């Protein structure tokens, strides 16, 4: 059960949701402990992966409540000066990263499960313990929030890019 | 401007690129340690005697039974046969482990801490000369005058001590504080509910440890208004030899009424003469 691949997979999910390595390690460890402890209660072996995902999502929700470090990291990132980087790929990555960090934990969870783990929304809803409609709604708002944030950031970047001469 | 018309695709690529490929060694090590130190739920419904392998013994349902004991007065001290509906399991030796021959073992009697037990004849002993103030295992370093000490030829050490339970502190609170005395590291300092049963003679106590990463094993039992702490560390296998630890503790006879808690005794009791058992 505790194959390295499983640990890596759970850690990857936790890291993407929490955006913090230490918190993700703690959440992964918590999920693995829960998995080991409750494994005999798992009745449907076919649901093992989804069951593991649920454990790590729950552990992330718990870890995310340690707000002090969480907020510290967000603050640091928000106050980072924008780099005058014209490499579009790098800029896109930074934009997406900042956009993801501005989402709520629940929004990031749904995005990670849907776009990274590649689970259908029905399964995502089951893992998160919410109705499918709620999952769809949350995903919709999460994407809208990201689009809005990215658009605002781009406008801001275009307006303040160092050395750029704005036309009259 | 609607910057990303393909935000979903960008997210897929971004998340795949950003996801760490491997967890750190800490996570892997903790996960493995978890397997060895954490019980599974099924153990609550499984007869004790069905667990026969050394590793699985650590995974049985002692915590729940221990928790029941903690919730009541006189916890951890009752004779195994007197526990009633929540039988304290008798830790049975693993069939895969070599039986430990106790022939020729000597008897160590602690007048200060109120117990006696037997130990291999090639060990050396040192008697405590001061009362033991409850603390974590770090308190009980070799040479601590508050602890009796048994030194093994391979470098291993047994520490043994007891203290009167304070009347003002509930027993369960005392035990909880004891379990937490060394901080939150979960692998080596599990919650009290995750300790395992161990026999002190015909009494049932609890222990944790036996993990190479932790390098020690510790057991506690309450009897007659006293808390007894026994610990082992070091040695050839680095964990104080869990089977040997259990074997020694199984010979223990507790006599809480004879323990001495005053700080200054005169004269200091000299080393007891070992007597062949």
Q: Which residue, of A33, A65, A80, is where some domain finishes?
A: A80
Please check whether residues A114 and A66 belong to one and the same domain.
no
CA geometry: angle B129, B133, B138, nearest 5 deg: 95
Residue B28 lies in a domain: no
Task: Report the gap between the CA of B15 and the closest CA in chain A (Å).
Answer: 6
Residue A29 lies in a domain: yes
Cβ contact (<8 Å) for A111 and B15? Answer: yes
pLDDT band at B274 (very low <50, low <70, confident <90, very high): very low
The total number of structural domains in chain A stands at: 2
pTM, rounded to two decimals = 0.43
Which residue blocks in chain A are alpha helix, DSSP H? 4-18, 21-38, 48-63, 67-78, 88-102, 105-111, 121-128, 132-160
pLDDT digits (tens, 9 = 90+) for B52-73: 222 322 222 223 222 222 222 2
CA A145 to chain centre: 14
pLDDT digits (tens, 9 = 90+) for B213-246: 556 788 888 888 888 988 887 655 444 567 888 8
Please check whether residues A76 and A111 belong to one and the same domain.
no
Give the mean pLDDT of B129-145: 62
CA distances from A41 to A37, A44, A77 (A): 9, 9, 42
For residues A28 and A11, is the Cβ–Cβ distance under 8 A? yes
Residue A167 lies in a domain: no
What does the mean pLDDT of chain B come to?
A: 67
List chain A residues with CB under 8 Å of B14. Answer: 92-93, 96-97
pLDDT digits (tens, 9 = 90+) for A89-108: 677 788 888 888 888 888 89
Residue B21 lies in a domain: no
pLDDT digits (tens, 9 = 90+) for B139-150: 445 567 788 988
| Interface size, chain A vs chain B, as Cβ–Cβ contacts under 8 Å | 104
For residue B125, the model assigns a pLDDT of 92
Please check whether residues A36 and A103 belong to one and the same domain.
no
Residue B32 lies in a domain: no
Which of A10, A33, A115 is nearest residue B15 as measured by Cβ atoms?
Answer: A115
Segments of chain A scoring below 50 in pLDDT: 1, 66-83, 85, 161-168
For residue B39, the model assigns a pLDDT of 59
Would you call B20 an interface residue with chain A, using a CB distance cutoff of 8 Å?
Answer: yes
Using CB atoms within 10 Å of the CB of residue A88, give its burial: 0 to 12 exposed, 13 to 18 middle, 19+ buried: exposed
For residue B69, the model assigns a pLDDT of 29
| Residues of the domain holding B130 | 63-276
For residues B217 and B242, is the Cβ–Cβ distance under 8 A? yes
| Residues of the domain holding A14 | 1-80
Would you call A154 an interface residue with chain B, using a CB distance cutoff of 8 Å?
Answer: yes
The total number of structural domains in chain B stands at: 1
Q: Which residue, of A27, A58, A80, is where some domain finishes?
A: A80
In percent, the amount of chain B with pLDDT more than 70 equals 57
- The rounded distance, in Å, linking the Cα atoms of B128 and B217 is 20
Question: ipTM score of the complex?
Answer: 0.78
For residue B258, the model assigns a pLDDT of 93
Residue B16 lies in a domain: no
Cβ contact (<8 Å) for B23 and A38? Answer: no
pLDDT band at B97 (very low <50, low <70, confident <90, very high): low
Cβ contact (<8 Å) for B15 and A116? Answer: yes
Cβ contact (<8 Å) for B3 and A146? Answer: no
Residue B52 lies in a domain: no
Please check whether residues A123 and A95 belong to one and the same domain.
yes
Would you call A97 an interface residue with chain B, using a CB distance cutoff of 8 Å?
Answer: yes
Give the mean pLDDT of B189-197: 80
Q: Of the given ranges (B197-201, B215-219, B269-273), which has the lowest mean pLDDT?
A: B269-273
CA nearest B120: which of B136, B107, B137, B134?
B107
List chain A residues with CB under 8 Å of B15. Answer: 16, 111-112, 115-116
Residue B6 lies in a domain: no
Residue B119 lies in a domain: yes
List chain A residues with CB under 8 Å of B193. Answer: none
* CATH (domain of A138): 1.10.10.10
Which of A33, A41, A115 is nearest residue B12 as measured by Cβ atoms?
Answer: A115
Please check whether residues A89 and A58 belong to one and the same domain.
no
* CATH (domain of A51): 1.10.1740
Q: What is the 3-state secondary structure (H, E, C) of B3-19?
A: CCCCHHHHHHHHHHHHC
Is the pLDDT confidence value at B253 over 90?
A: yes
Which of B8, B21, B34 is nearest residue A33 as measured by Cβ atoms?
Answer: B34
CA distances from B130 to A96, B148, B158, B224, B263 (A): 64, 10, 17, 20, 6
């Amino acid at each position: 059960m505790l194959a390295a691949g499983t640990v890596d997979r759970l850690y990857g999910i936790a890291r993407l949701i929490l955006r913090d390595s230490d918190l993700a390690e703690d959440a992964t460890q918590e999920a693995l402990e829960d998995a080991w402890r409750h494994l005999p209660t798992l009745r449907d072996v076919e649901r093992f992966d989804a069951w593991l995902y649920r454990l790590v999502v729950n552990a992330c929700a718990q870890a995310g409540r340690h707000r002090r470090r969480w907020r510290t990291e967000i603050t640091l990132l928000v106050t980072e000066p924008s780099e005058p980087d014209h490499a579009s790929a790098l800029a896109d990555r930074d934009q997406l990263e900042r956009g993801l960090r501005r989402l709520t934990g629940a929004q990031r969870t749904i995005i990670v499960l849907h776009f990274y783990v590649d689970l259908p929304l029905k399964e995502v809803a089951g893992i998160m313990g919410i109705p499918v409609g709620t999952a769809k709604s949350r995903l919709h708002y999460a994407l809208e929030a990201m689009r809005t944030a990215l658009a605002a950031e781009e406008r801001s970047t275009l307006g303040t890019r160092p050395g750029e001469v704005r036309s009259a | 401007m609607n910057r990303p018309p393909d935000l979903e695709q960008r997210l897929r690529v971004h998340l795949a690129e950003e996801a760490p490929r491997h967890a750190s060694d800490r996570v892997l090590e903790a996960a493995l340690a978890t397997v060895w130190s954490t019980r599974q739920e099924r153990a609550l419904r499984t007869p004790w005697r069905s667990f026969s392998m050394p590793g699985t013994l650590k995974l049985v349902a002692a915590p729940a039974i221990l928790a029941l004991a903690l919730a009541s007065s006189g916890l951890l001290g009752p004779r195994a046969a007197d526990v009633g509906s929540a039988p304290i399991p008798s830790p049975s030796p693993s069939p895969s482990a070599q039986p430990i021959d106790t022939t020729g073992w000597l008897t160590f009697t602690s007048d200060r801490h109120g117990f006696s037990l037997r130990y291999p004849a090639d060990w050396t002993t040192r008697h405590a000369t001061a009362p033991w103030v409850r603390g974590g295992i770090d308190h009980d370093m070799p040479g601590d005058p508050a602890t009796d000490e048994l030194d093994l030829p391979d470098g291993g050490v047994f520490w043994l001590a007891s203290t009167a339970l304070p009347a003002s502190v509930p027993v369960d609170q005392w035990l909880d504080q004891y379990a937490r005395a060394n901080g939150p590291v979960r692998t080596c300092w599990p919650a009290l509910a995750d300790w395992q049963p161990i026999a002190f003679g015909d009494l049932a106590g609890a222990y944790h440890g036996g993990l190479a990463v932790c390098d020690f094993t510790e057991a506690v039992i309450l009897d007659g208004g006293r808390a007894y702490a026994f610990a082992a560390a070091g040695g050839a296998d680095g964990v104080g030899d869990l089977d040997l630890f259990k074997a020694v503790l199984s010979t223990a006879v507790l006599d809480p009424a004879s323990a001495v808690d005053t700080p200054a005794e005169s004269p200091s009791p000299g080393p007891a003469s070992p007597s062949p058992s």
